[in-house]
Amino acid sequence: MASYTVLFKIILVLLSLSDSAVHVLSLSFGINYGQIANNLPSPSRVSVLLQTLNVSRVKLYDADPNVLQAFSNSQVDFIIGLGSENLQNMKDPLKAQAWIQQHVQPHLPQTKITCITVGNEILGGNDTQLMSNLLPAMQSVHGALVDLGLSKQVTVTTAHSLNILGNSYPPSSGSFRQDLAQYIQPILSFHAQVNSPFLINAYPYFAYKDNPGEVPLEYVLFQPNSGMVDSVTNLHYDNMLDAQIDAVYAAIKAMGHTDVEVRISETGWPSKGDPNEAGATPENAGLYNGNLMRKLEERKGTPAKPSVPIDIYVFALFNEDLKPGPASERNYGLYYPDGTPVYDIGFKGYLPQLTFTADSNKNNVLSIFNFLIFLTVYLLSSV
């Protein structure tokens, strides 16, 4: 453990020596760190990987104390998740406060927890009881944060799938499903009241996979294409993600709100899929995420919201081998569990290969030495 501590301190010192290196490494997106797998590196090693990448925002699907502890005293902002199975209990203010006291307070302020997502894609499912519990749970969690004096640093929201839209074309005619209006309307009012974002999981890949003969691949991969023109606004769209975001904004506006910001809590492209999953290749995944990175570096908005830079969390950090469903679900990662990039989009990160047994000191020192060589070369090439 001592060797790891030394390594970690050296990393932070070296990264702080060069402003230009930090600028080069700085990434303008967040990353989803899922853990439905049995072969992932330890959170302490992942913390090194993400900090050498200079990733400053991470989204979890739970409140794993091992992860939050591993990122203690880092500059990484965390969105943590409160699972759907807890919604019924979270309606009780005392239970909501107890959850925060157990899962949030012990990690503050050394770990920067800035948001709690209550449930995930609840309204896109078919469990009406969960739908009914969603807003009361969000309100209760927010109330507990207020009582504990944490509401100014930790916001409350939930993430939705695009299934909540009843119409998305053209983008300016976007609208929510009528059967969900009774849930979405008060949720929007909650967001406006507490100033928290409306989160959407947006995957142009799904649209292409379902209609590969009709949806141009270039349009979903941010490649040069003729795009489409919104017949109502005459705005031109050269990629589907922008159109999806603006459709959500239009749906929110149709419910009387222009005071709620839309952020993308998940987007990505699988590098592998089943035979019937068109387009799931490492080449397409690399194009999607690589072109998305370049788009985000421009810090521009969508055609309908040009002054509001899009805010995105990429899905996902690692391939997760235990995720159920089609093969694509297990192949959204930017990295394999051993720290090897699944495809090359220009990232240069380091996953330390450290062990902590009494007989491993020699190997640990060698790992530190190899890392220092790697980081020194990288910093020199970044100047």
User: Annotated catalytic sites, by residue?
Assistant: 121, 266
CA–CA separation, 92 vs 356, rounded Å?
43
CA–CA separation, 317 vs 315, rounded Å?
7
Q: What is the DSSP letter of 318?
A: B
Closest CA to 299 of 307, 287, 290: 307
Tally of CB atoms within 10 A around 323: 17
Contact 159, 199 (CB under 8 A): yes
DSSP 147-187: HTT-TTT-EEEEEEEGGGEEE-SSGGG-EE-GGGHHHHHHH
Six-digit token string for 339: 């720290």
User: Which residues, listed in sequence order, are joined to residue 58 by a DSSP beta bridge?
Assistant: 31, 78
C-alpha distance across the termini of the chain, in Å = 32
